[in-house]
Amino acid sequence: MVVLNVPPFIMTYAAIRQKRLDIENAQVVNAQITAPAGGTVTPGFLSTSASGTVAAGARSVSIANSGAAVGTALGTNVPVGVTVSWGANNGSLGAIAYNATGTTFLITEVR
């Protein structure tokens, strides 16, 4: 039997589905996503095979491991095929350190 130590920040299926519905309900305007409730947010996208940090201040961040090896985010393993996400409902996130050396991370953020 394999037991995985799953960090609490991995999204449940229901949360992922809701996030997808939120994105589908947003309106795309001039490469920015305009939230239905008002206010403009700016999306960002990065594909990397290096280590780095997502700067503090993002409203949400997702890191997907699309490579062939385990990487890390906030010092925790991110297995191949796994996506981890964080969101700040009323505020912003702190910095998020990652290491994608030997694999590929697809990182999206909304500011």
Q: How many domains does the chain have?
A: 1
* Residue 6 in domain: no
* Residue 105 in domain: yes
* Residue 4 in domain: no
Residues 42-94: tens digit of each pLDDT: 889 999 999 999 999 999 999 999 999 999 999 999 999 999 999 988 889 99
pTM of the complete model: 0.66
DSSP class of residue 8 equals T
* Residue 7 in domain: no
Domain that holds residue 62: 13-110
Show the DSSP H helices in the chain as ranges.
13-25
* Residue 8 in domain: no
> What's the confidence (pLDDT) of residue 73?
97
> What's the confidence (pLDDT) of residue 13?
56
Q: Distance from CA of residue 45 to its chain's centroid? A: 10
Question: Which sign, positive or negative, has the C-alpha torsion 62, 47, 100, 41?
Answer: negative
